[in-house]
Chains A and B, each alone.
Chain A
Amino acid sequence: VTTRRWVRVCSRAELEPGRGVAALVDGRQVAVFLLPSLPGASGASGGREPAVRLRAIDNHDPATGANVLSRGLLGSTGDVDYVASPMRKHRYDLDSGRCLDGAGSVPGVRVWPVRSWGGTVEVLSVVGETAEAVRTHCPFCALQCGMRVRGSGGGVRWRGCGGWTHPLFPVPG
Chain B
Amino acid sequence: MTSRSRVVVVGHGMVGNKVVEALVRRGATQSWDIVVLGEERRAAYDRVHLSKLFEGADPSSLDLTDPSVYGDPAVSLVASSPVVSIDRNLKLVEVAGGTTYSYDVLVMATGSSAFVPPVPGHDLEGCFVYRRVEDVEAIRSWASGRAHGVVIGAGLLGLEAANALRLCGLATEVVEIAPRPMPVQVDETGGEVLTRRIEEHGLAVHTGTVLASVEAGGDGAVAGVRLSVAGDPDDTAYLATEMVVFAAGIRPRDELARACGLEVGPRGGIVVDERCCTSDASIYAVGECALAAGRIHGLVAPGYQMARVVAENICGGEASFFPSDTPTKLKLLGVDVASFGDARAASDGASTLVYTDHTSRVHRRLVTAADGRLIGGVLVGDASGFESMVAVAAGDMDPPGDMVDLLMPVRAVDGAPAAGKAVLHPNATVCSCENVSAGAICSAIDSALADTGAADVGAVKARTGAGTGCGGCLPQVTDLLNRRLDEAGVAPSRRLCEHFSQSRQDLSEIVRLTGVSPFAELVSRYGSGAGCEICKPTVASILASVAGGHILDGEGASLQDTNDHHLANLQRDGTYSVVPRVPGGEITPDKLVVLGEVARRYGLYVKITGGQRIDLLGARVDDLPSIWAELVDAGFESGHAYGKAVRTVKSCVGTTWCRFGVQDSTTLAIDLELRYRGLRSPHKIKMAVSGCARECAEAQGKDVGVIATERGWNLYVCGNGGTKPRHADLLASDLDTDTLVRYIDRFLIYYIRTADRLQRTSSWLDAMEGGIEHLRRVVVDDSLGLAEELETAMAAHVARYRCEWAETLADPVRLRRFRSFVNTEESDPDIAFVEERSQPRPVMAVRR
Give the B-binding residues of A (Cβ under 8 A): 4, 7-10, 14, 16-19, 21-25, 29, 32, 35-36, 38-40, 44-45, 47-49, 51-52, 60, 64-68, 71-81, 84, 86-91, 93, 95-96, 98, 100-103, 105, 111, 113-115, 117, 124, 131, 133, 137, 139-142, 149-150, 154-156, 158, 164-166, 168-172
For the A-B complex with A23-B823, A44-B51, A103-B465 known, give 16 more contacts whose Cβ atoms are closer than 8 Å.
A22-B821, A22-B822, A23-B822, A36-B530, A39-B524, A49-B55, A49-B56, A52-B167, A65-B847, A68-B570, A139-B172, A142-B171, A149-B204, A154-B207, A165-B237, A172-B224
Report 16 cross-chain contacts, Cβ distance below 8 Å, ordered by A residue.
Answer: A23-B824, A25-B823, A36-B531, A45-B331, A73-B561, A76-B498, A76-B532, A80-B200, A86-B561, A96-B201, A140-B173, A142-B171, A149-B206, A166-B239, A169-B240, A169-B241
Task: Produce 1/0 per residue, B835-848, CB < 8 A to A.
Answer: 00000000011111
Known A-B contacts A24-B826, A156-B237; A75 and B461 likewise in contact (beta carbons under 8 Å) = no
Please give the distance in Å from B360's CB to the nearest CB on chain A.
9
- Contact between chains at B171 and A171 (CB < 8 Å): no
Known A-B contacts A49-B56, A102-B468; A65 and B844 likewise in contact (beta carbons under 8 Å) = yes
- Contact between chains at B331 and A124 (CB < 8 Å): no
Taken together as a complex, chains A and B put the C-alpha atoms of A140 and B225 apart, in Å, by 12
* Residues on A with beta carbons closer than 8 Å to the beta carbon of B55: 44, 47-49
Please give the distance in Å from B685's CB to the nearest CB on chain A.
22
Closest to A135 in B: B848
* Residues on B with beta carbons closer than 8 Å to the beta carbon of A23: 821-824
- Contact between chains at B847 and A9 (CB < 8 Å): no
* Residues on B with beta carbons closer than 8 Å to the beta carbon of A150: 206
Taken together as a complex, chains A and B put the C-alpha atoms of A25 and B470 apart, in Å, by 32
* Residues on A with beta carbons closer than 8 Å to the beta carbon of B56: 47, 49
Taken together as a complex, chains A and B put the C-alpha atoms of A171 and B557 apart, in Å, by 48
Whether B462 sits at the interface, judged by CB under 8 Å, is: yes
* Residues on A with beta carbons closer than 8 Å to the beta carbon of B169: 51-52, 113-115
Closest to A139 in B: B204
Whether B572 sits at the interface, judged by CB under 8 Å, is: yes
Please give the distance in Å from A127's CB to the nearest CB on chain B.
15
Q: Which of A65, A115, A171 contacts B240 (CB 8 A)?
A: A171
Taken together as a complex, chains A and B put the C-alpha atoms of A25 and B822 apart, in Å, by 11
Please give the distance in Å from A160's CB to the nearest CB on chain B.
12
- Contact between chains at B565 and A164 (CB < 8 Å): no
Whether B118 sits at the interface, judged by CB under 8 Å, is: no
Q: Which of A88, A139, A172 contacts B203 (CB 8 A)?
A: A139
- Contact between chains at A73 and B232 (CB < 8 Å): no
- Contact between chains at A96 and B558 (CB < 8 Å): no
Stretch touching chain A among B123-131, B215-223, B293-301, B707-715: B215-223
Closest to A100 in B: B462
Taken together as a complex, chains A and B put the C-alpha atoms of A86 and B574 apart, in Å, by 9
Taken together as a complex, chains A and B put the C-alpha atoms of A139 and B240 apart, in Å, by 11
* Residues on A with beta carbons closer than 8 Å to the beta carbon of B13: none
* Residues on A with beta carbons closer than 8 Å to the beta carbon of B816: 14
Chain B 560-601 interface residues, beta-carbon cutoff 8 Å to A: 561-563, 565-566, 570, 572-574
- Contact between chains at A38 and B520 (CB < 8 Å): yes
* Residues on A with beta carbons closer than 8 Å to the beta carbon of B206: 149-150, 156
- Contact between chains at B521 and A88 (CB < 8 Å): no
Q: Which of B145, B171, B200, B224 contacts A141 (CB 8 A)?
A: B171
- Contact between chains at B202 and A169 (CB < 8 Å): no
- Contact between chains at B462 and A72 (CB < 8 Å): no
Whether B235 sits at the interface, judged by CB under 8 Å, is: yes
Whether B684 sits at the interface, judged by CB under 8 Å, is: no
- Contact between chains at B52 and A35 (CB < 8 Å): no
* Residues on A with beta carbons closer than 8 Å to the beta carbon of B201: 95-96
Task: Produce 1/0 per residue, B195-212, CB < 8 A to A.
Answer: 000011111101111000
Known A-B contacts A23-B822, A24-B823, A39-B520; A103 and B533 likewise in contact (beta carbons under 8 Å) = no
- Contact between chains at A86 and B232 (CB < 8 Å): no
Chain B 803-848 interface residues, beta-carbon cutoff 8 Å to A: 816, 820-824, 826, 828, 830-831, 844-848
- Contact between chains at A45 and B334 (CB < 8 Å): yes
* Residues on A with beta carbons closer than 8 Å to the beta carbon of B52: 44
Closest to A116 in B: B169
Q: Which of A16, A24, A74, A98 contacts B530 (CB 8 A)?
A: A74
- Contact between chains at B558 and A90 (CB < 8 Å): no
Closest to B536 in A: A73
Task: Produce 1/0 per residue, B38-56, CB < 8 A to A.
Answer: 0000000000000110111
Known A-B contacts A76-B532, A156-B206; A19 and B557 likewise in contact (beta carbons under 8 Å) = yes
- Contact between chains at B822 and A9 (CB < 8 Å): yes
Known A-B contacts A65-B846, A95-B201, A169-B148; A35 and B237 likewise in contact (beta carbons under 8 Å) = no
Known A-B contacts A139-B204, A155-B232, A164-B238; A66 and B562 likewise in contact (beta carbons under 8 Å) = no
- Contact between chains at B468 and A60 (CB < 8 Å): no
Known A-B contacts A23-B821, A77-B498; A141 and B148 likewise in contact (beta carbons under 8 Å) = yes
Taken together as a complex, chains A and B put the C-alpha atoms of A86 and B575 apart, in Å, by 12
- Contact between chains at B822 and A76 (CB < 8 Å): no
Whether B471 sits at the interface, judged by CB under 8 Å, is: yes
Please give the distance in Å from A49's CB to the nearest CB on chain B.
5
- Contact between chains at B562 and A71 (CB < 8 Å): yes
* Residues on B with beta carbons closer than 8 Å to the beta carbon of A95: 200-202
* Residues on B with beta carbons closer than 8 Å to the beta carbon of A71: 562, 565-566, 570
- Contact between chains at B239 and A65 (CB < 8 Å): no
Interface centre among B230, B534, B820, B822 (most CB of A within 10 A): B822
- Contact between chains at A19 and B558 (CB < 8 Å): yes
Whether B537 sits at the interface, judged by CB under 8 Å, is: yes
Closest to B218 in A: A172
- Contact between chains at B824 and A24 (CB < 8 Å): yes
* Residues on A with beta carbons closer than 8 Å to the beta carbon of B574: 66-68, 87
Whether B323 sits at the interface, judged by CB under 8 Å, is: no
* Residues on A with beta carbons closer than 8 Å to the beta carbon of B847: 60, 65
Whether B373 sits at the interface, judged by CB under 8 Å, is: no
Known A-B contacts A139-B204, A141-B171; A73 and B532 likewise in contact (beta carbons under 8 Å) = yes
Whether B229 sits at the interface, judged by CB under 8 Å, is: yes
- Contact between chains at B530 and A81 (CB < 8 Å): yes
Please give the distance in Å from B658's CB to the nearest CB on chain A.
42
* Residues on B with beta carbons closer than 8 Å to the beta carbon of A80: 200
- Contact between chains at A75 and B240 (CB < 8 Å): no
- Contact between chains at A64 and B822 (CB < 8 Å): no
Closest to A86 in B: B562
Known A-B contacts A36-B520, A154-B179; A17 and B171 likewise in contact (beta carbons under 8 Å) = no
Closest to B174 in A: A139
Whether B469 sits at the interface, judged by CB under 8 Å, is: yes
- Contact between chains at A44 and B238 (CB < 8 Å): no
* Residues on B with beta carbons closer than 8 Å to the beta carbon of A10: 822-823
